Amino acid sequence: MSKPKVAFFDFTSCEGCQLSKLNLEDDLLDILELVDIVNFREAISDRGEDYEIAFIEGSLSTPHCIERIHKIRRQAKILVALGACAHIGGINAIRNKMDQDEVRETVYGKDKYLFPSIKAQAVSDVVKVDYYVPGCPMDNQEFKKVLSALLTGKIPEIPEYSVCVECKAKENECLYDYGIACMGPITRAGCGAACPSNGHYCYGCRGLVPDLNKNAAKDVMEKYKLSMSQIKKRFYMFNTNYVNMEEKEYE
C-alpha cells in the first residue's frame, strides 16, 4: 500500500502549530515512515499539489486566503483544521468585534485607507472541515492521536465536556477561589487543563463546550464578583466569533 500523501498549509497565524509538529522529536522519524509529506513550507522545499489529507493552520483574513482554501478543499479528501486560529478564528478574531476603521487607524495612521482586509474567520466559516485539533497551540499528542485515527480509518474524537472536569480530576485548586476569572467552565476539554494546572487562568483556546449554559457561567461570575467588562474581554479573547454578549445582560 502506498503511503498517504499529506500536506500542511498555513494561513494567518503565529506558526506555533507548525512548530508544535516539529516538536514531536521522538516520533517525527516514525511519522515519516507512515506518510508522505508533499507540502510543508516551513520545513521542506518540495511543493507537491497531489495530496489526500490537508492540515490547515491559521485563520482566513484576506481575499487571497479565501481563494487558497477553496483550492485546497477541492484537492483534499480529508481536511483537518489545526489549532485555535483554524478551528475558531482564535486571537486573530479579536479585531472582528472592534471598529474596523479604528483598527486600521491604530496601526496605519494616515495610511489607513491603503490597506483593505476582511474579518478573521475560522476555516469552517468558508469550507467544510472534516476534523479538528483544537487549542493554542494545538497539543501535539492530540495531533498524533488524530493522525493515527485517520491512518487507521477511525474517526478522531474530541471531548464534549468542559476543562473543569479535567481540572477537578487533577485536584487543582479552583482559580476562582483566588478571584481569577478562568474560562475553564465554558471551554472544551482535551488539554488536560494545561493552563490551570500551571496556575494560569484558562483563556478558552479550545473553543466553547457544546450546549454552553451561558446563565450558569454568568452565575459563577456574579458569585465571585468579577468585573463584567473584563470577563467579557476574556470570553472574546479566543472566541470572538462565537460569543455575542449584550452589554446590558452583563453590566
Partner 1 sequence: MNNLSIRVPYVTRVEGHGNIVVDLKEGKLVKSVLEIVEPPRYFEAMMKGYLYTDAAVISSRICGICAVGHQMTSVKATEAALGIPVTEQTVLLRKLLVYGATMQSHILHIFFLAAPDLFNAPSVIPLAKTHPETVKMALRMKRLSNDICDLIGGRTIHPNRVVPGGFTKLPTEKELLWIKDKLENQMVPNAKASFELLKSLADKFPAFQRETEYIGLKTDSEYAFYDGDISSTDAGIIPVEKYREVTNEFVVPHSTAKHARHKRSSYAVGALARLNNNYDKLNPLAKEVADALGMKPIVKNPYLNTVAQLVETIHVTEESLKLIDKLLTDGIKAEKPIQPEKLREGTGVGCTEVPRGILFHEYTYDNRGQIVKANCIIPTNQNAQNIDDDMKELVPWMIDNGMNKEQMTLALEMLVRAYDPCISCSVHFLDVEFKE
| Site membership for partner 1, residue 111 (CB under 8 A) | yes
Q: Which of 19, 34, 169, 216 binds partner 1 (CB under 8 A)?
A: 19
Count of residues in contact with partner 1, rule CB under 8 A: 59
| DSSP three-state, residue 133 | strand
228 contacts: CB under 8 Å, gap ≥ 6: 221, 250, 251
**Contacting partner 1 within 218-237 (CB under 8 A):** 230, 233-234, 237
| Site membership for partner 1, residue 29 (CB under 8 A) | yes
CA distances, 22 to each of 18, 42, 49, 141, 236 (Å)? 7, 10, 22, 12, 30
Q: Which helix (H) or strand (E) holds 191?
A: none
Say if residues 207 and 84 touch (Cβ distance below 8 Å). Answer: yes
DSSP labels for 145-190?
HHHHHHHTTPPP----SBHHHHHHHTTPPPGGGGT----GGGBB--
Using the minimum distance from each CB to partner 1, give the nearer residue, 30 or 160. Answer: 30
Using the minimum distance from each CB to partner 1, give the nearer residue, 75 or 141. Answer: 141
Site map (CB under 8 A) of partner 1, residues 117-156, x = contact:
x------------------xx-------------------
Query: Least separation, in Å, of the C-beta of 222 and partner 1?
Result: 19
Query: Least separation, in Å, of the C-beta of 137 and partner 1?
Result: 4
Residues near partner 1 (CB under 8 A): 11-20, 22-23, 25-26, 28-29, 32, 37, 41-47, 61-65, 90-92, 94-95, 98, 102-104, 106-108, 111, 114-117, 136-137, 194-195, 198-200, 203, 230, 233-234, 237
